[in-house]
Structure 1
Amino acid sequence: MRQFQASFIGIGAQKCASTWLYGVLQQCPEVFVSDEKEVDFFSYYFDRGYEWYERNFASETAHQHRGEISPSYFIHADAPARAAAYNPNLHVFVTLRDPIKRAFSNHLHEARKGHISGVNLTFETALDNNPLYRDQGRYATHLSRWMDHFPREQIHVMFQEEILADRATMARQATDILGLKPLDDFLDLKANESVRYRNAAVGETLWKVGSYARRHGMGRLVETVKSAPGIKQMRNANRESMRDAVVPMAADTEAALTDYYAKEVTQLEALIKRPVPWERFRATETA
């Protein structure tokens, strides 16, 4: 293994708690994660070569593991083969959630970023505007490509629903996978909320300061400051929930997407050899 070769990657899917996983691994002293969460090497920047990629993990301090998390890898057709050629022993973390909730969260994200406007702020119209809303939820199709290139014991599937139910246990699962000591003081980070800032400059500045502090071991201080009287009120006053700004998904759209994903969910369960925690698909199976 080269000096700074990655030993793990997170591949998404998008809007499925990958930022939470990044935050967990960032807290592990034996792990070096890239400063930028999404390096996107095996998808968008493969032409830059391994040396460029491994600069993201360069450190004078010895670490048991190095890696990064890029949700773009999950659906990229070439990423599995590229990653396997780079290091066939990679641990591959996969985070998934109910594909219909994922699609709507994707929609809120695009609205928050300003990538869509007008009629496309309506989810039903946006489904036609952005085919990836649907495609990224075809979990079995995309995961099977990764299983063609990596042994199943190196692919670790985690569900966002299980993370929300017991964050500490799921954090312990992540550290156990990498053979690390459990975190003594696990800092439970809630990231990527579907909110936008009324004053974008203030919001971005606070985010950058917090991100820098967490990377330098001051995560607990950041969370304490965020909860302090005055600071908490200022942050809340500058935030608007995207769920208040975007019309909810229509019931018939939700039903149609349930039918659309039903076969994929059945195939996913066969791939990972365990049931998924999405009750809507239980009803589909018994109907």
Structure 2
Amino acid sequence: MSSQLDFIVIGPGKCGTSWVYKILNQHPEVCVSSAKETLYFEEYFHKGDDWYSKFFKHAESGQLLGEVSNTYVFSKEVPARIKEKYPNVKLVSTIRNPVDRTFSHYLFLRRNGTLSCSFEEALVIRPDLQERGNYHTFFKQYEEHFDRSQIKVLLMEDLRVDNRQYADDLFSFLGVKGRLSDEILNEKVLPASKARSPLVARMVKASAGLVRKLGHPELITKIKYNKRVTGALYGEYKEGEKPVLSPETRKELEEYFSLEVEQLSDWLGRDLKKVWQFSK
């Protein structure tokens, strides 16, 4: 592996990382790893640079190198490992209203057959659903190892309002020029859906885990972004079929996240309770 890794998108998942991976993959000045989630700094750090380098074999001269992860942001060990290998790397996180992220994560786990219970029950048996919305806590772990100027935080809400400005902000931070077409920016990536067969979805998830353990996460990426495959496995919700987040549960989660959001607002210099329309 080259001594140069220019950027890492550290997550969290369910906040637009798939869209970010897509536009980075389409930019001529950028080379993203062939697997969206190599998990190198998380589960496979012991495999070393040679193993990691295989995900960048397609890189062309002069391109920036980077990877996109859904989970690096949560780990206590990952920041130190990244610092050890690439102390000058740029770090990007894309976040959203933590209540919406929590519910979206729940829908994802229903989609792949992991959960079949109500959202309220899921919060009890899977406390990590809401814990993963404690963004400020996770960013402080990274700030222990990296200068604040190396960390860029983007909001999914801004992406929905103006995807071109969002992309421009990302590219400017990374130091790349040029603009992508509206067609690329507006293409939907992995829209919300349900499993056509929960049993098959669970089997696919288990198979993907095995493939990843065997050291071939790039195969998962190819399948995940193949529209024919995903179309066969998942379908759109029918009217009235999609689970809905109740106002009562939303309010409870807003109270849970309140202090974290206040701290993050101070850290970013932006009133996120206003952006995320938290109730008074």
**Cα 1:28–1:267 shift into 2, 3 Å:** same
**2:109 maps to which residue?**
110
Does the C-alpha gap of structure 1 residues 209 and 247 become closer, same or farther in structure 2, counting only changes over 3 Å?
closer
Partners of 1:144 and 1:271 within 8 A in 2: no
Partner of residue 190, structure 1: 188
1:278 aligns with 2:275: yes
Superposition CA RMSD, Å:
2.7
Q: Residues 41-190 of structure 1 correspond to what in structure 2 (within 5 A)?
A: 41-59=40-58, 61-117=60-116, 121-186=117-182, 187-188=184-185, 189-190=187-188
CA contact (8 A) 2:59 2:65 kept: no
Distance change >3 Å, CA 23–CA 180, structure 1 → 2: same
Q: TM-score, normalised by structure 1?
A: 0.80
CA change 1:268–1:145 in 2 (3 A) is same
Question: Alignment partner of 1:158: what SS?
Answer: strand
**CA–CA distance in structure 1, aligned partners of residues 83 and 264 of structure 2:** 21
Q: Taking structure 1 as reference, are residues 271 and 147 closer, same or farther at Cα in structure 2, changes over 3 Å only? A: same
Provide the secondary structure at the position in 2 that maps to 1:145: helix
2:106/2:129 contact within 8 Å kept: yes
Does the 8 A contact of 1:6 with 1:54 survive in 2? no
Unaligned runs of 5+ in 2: 205-220
Q: Give the Å deviation of 1:3.
A: 3.0
1:13 offset after TM fit, Å? Answer: 1.1
1:158-194 Cα deviation digits (max 9, x unpaired): 0000001100111111111121112252512322321
Q: Judge conservation of contact 1:198–1:240 (CA < 8 Å) in 2.
A: no
Percent identical among aligned pairs is 31
Matches of 1:255 and 1:143, distance apart in 2: 24
- Matching residue of 1:265: 261
Question: 1-side partners of 2:12 and 2:247: how far apart?
Answer: 24
- Report the number of matched residues: 255
**Distance in 2 between the 1:166 and 1:17 partners?**
14
What amino acid is the match of 1:57? F
2:22 maps to 23
Matched-pair contact (CA < 8 Å) for 2:29–2:176: yes
User: TM-score w.r.t. structure 2 length?
Assistant: 0.82
Partner of 2:31: 32
Does the 8 A contact of 1:35 with 1:56 survive in 2?
A: yes
Shift of 1:197: 5.0
TM-superposed CA distance for 1:104, in Å, is: 0.4
Give the equivalent residue in structure 1 for 2:212: none
